[in-house]
Structure 1
Amino acid sequence: MSAIEESQPPRAGRLPRNARRRQLLDAALSVFVAQGYHAAAMDDIADKAGVSKPVLYQHFPGKRDLYLALLDESAASLMEAVRSAMSATDDNKERVRATVAAYYEFVEDKTGAFRLVFESDLIGEPEVRDRLEAVERQCAEIAAEVIASDTGLPDAEARLLGAGLAGIAQVTARTWAANGEPLPREQAIDLVASLAWRGIRGFPRTDEH
């Protein structure tokens, strides 16, 4: 057996359809994160998954379909994390920290899925751009709903504050990751949450008016 043959993953046996789809998505994510969309090839993804190209095409008609499926999945994961952070407690200070933590945990995920949401090399494509704008807007709106309910601020003001909180969390998390995680995650989260809370706490809860 040649060195090339030894380095290739064994071809996978039959799996239930859902398990095979999961396997293919995981392989595609690894390839897209490592190579970017344009450099990645379906051959690379099939090899990574240990399947033939016909098997890959049975599940996904093309590379773009794979990418969009992963983008939708990653975006949904982030939105659910932000929603959980906001609903986990009635303490606004803890909500702020939990929201910041959601972004740091998303960025720290070793799969690198955050790169599809925050660093996509297909941002110029309308169907990708629309998805990215939607996840940004929806994360801000999740925060804005709680802010509006607690403070009685008009919707427009609450949405702006929600976008501000999401923006601070996203940008600092990406900067932290890009710089090689120079601080322990919890310390970084505390630092950024403290900054955000100092601004948001200036808007008292409705029941404190």
Structure 2
Amino acid sequence: MATSGTAPAYRRLSVDQRRSQLIDVALELFAGHPPEEVSLDGVALAAGVSRPLVYRYFPGGKQQLYEAALRSAADELERCFTEPENGPLVERLSRVLDRYLLFVSEHAAGFTALLQGGSMVETSRTSAIVDEVRRHAAREVFRHLGLDAPGPRLRMAVRTWIAAVEAASLIWLDEEREPPAGELRRWMVHHFVALLTSTAAYDAESAEVLRRALALERAEGPVGELARRVLPLLADGGHLLLDPEEISPVAEPPRPHPAS
């Protein structure tokens, strides 16, 4: 990778400080460039040290340094999902997504290369780091839903939503961050509500989760806004397509017949 300017003055640091510095410098470079465009010479120059010193701390070379930087980025990304269990569920989710999109924007090139795959430094270890971030995100969503062991339908819904958030983030970067981050976050939140609602229509567990979540929502909040925008679309000539008297509570899922 081409670099410009002069190297910063060398500073004597402790072993831990130097290793952290090299990881921070590498993370900054990987965040702004695809991994294959980052070189150890570029890392050394940006850190103000020699190439042999980089090898002293990362004898595995660029691959080891990349994995260390990726692990550091994954830790930061996981912290984006940490949110107190206070207030309406969807408002908590909005704050998480604000932090997530800020991370994506600040690490655009590295985020894209990481999730799209195909990097020359991608390995089973780097893939495992990415998968752990996804699992952590799912665990945090289930924690806010108040579930320790969600059923298969709810697990699928949440994992589908996380995959959709990743895909939307990549498209957002490809579209030069359009729509604005706030609008994208609102769409992601509404997507979660819609996915949970459609799952609840067929799954008693999801229906109970949805009821608990809606009980905390405010009329002026994201769910109220979604309802006000969607309900007119379901109207036909001023009348709902479905007669309210035909609406029935969510049925219990079919029970297996006892073995004969």
TM-score, with structure 1 as normaliser: 0.78
Tell me the residue number matched to 1:77.
76
Identify which of 179, 193, 199 aligns with 1:183: 179
Deviations 1:46-78 (A, max 9, x none): 112111122212322221111111111111222
Q: Tell me how far apart the structure 1 counterparts of residues 163 and 96 of structure 2 sit (CA, whole Å).
A: 11
Q: 1:101 to 1:73 in 2, by over 3 A?
A: same
1:161 maps to which residue?
A: 157
Give the match for residue 54 of structure 1: 52
Greater helix content: 1
Q: For this pair of structures, how many residues does the alignment match?
A: 200
Query: Equivalents in 1 of 2:105, 2:81: separation in Å?
Result: 15
Q: Percent identity?
A: 22
Q: How many angstroms does 1:186 deviate by?
A: 1.5
Identify the match of residue 197 of structure 1 among 188, 193, 204.
193
1:107-118 pair list within 5 angstroms: 107-109=104-106, 114-115=111-112, 117-118=114-115
Corresponding residue number in structure 2 for 1:134: 132
Deviation at 1:110, TM superposition (A): 5.1
* Structure 1 residues not aligned, in runs of 5+: 1-5
Task: Point out 4+ residue stretches in structure 1 off by more than 4 angstroms.
Answer: 110-113, 206-209
- Go from structure 1 to structure 2 and tell me whether the alpha carbon gap of 1:115 and 1:48 turns closer, same or farther (over 3 Å shift): farther
Alpha-carbon RMSD across the aligned residues, in angstroms, is 3.0
Contact 2:97 2:185 in 1 (8 A): yes
Q: For residue 168 of structure 2, what is the aligned residue in structure 1? A: 172
Compare CA radii of gyration and give the structure with the larger one.
Answer: 2
Q: Give the direction of change, closer, same or farther, for the CA distance of 1:193–1:141 in structure 2 (3 Å limit).
A: same
SS of residue matched to 2:81: helix
TM-score for the superposition, normalised by structure 2: 0.65
> Which runs of 5 or more residues in structure 2 are unaligned?
201-206, 216-249, 251-260
Q: 1:35: how far off?
A: 4.5
**How far off is 1:107 after superposition?**
0.5
Structure 2 equivalent of residue 3 of structure 1:
none
CA distances 1:87-130 after superposition (whole Å, capped 9, x unpaired): 34341221332343333122122575534642451575222222
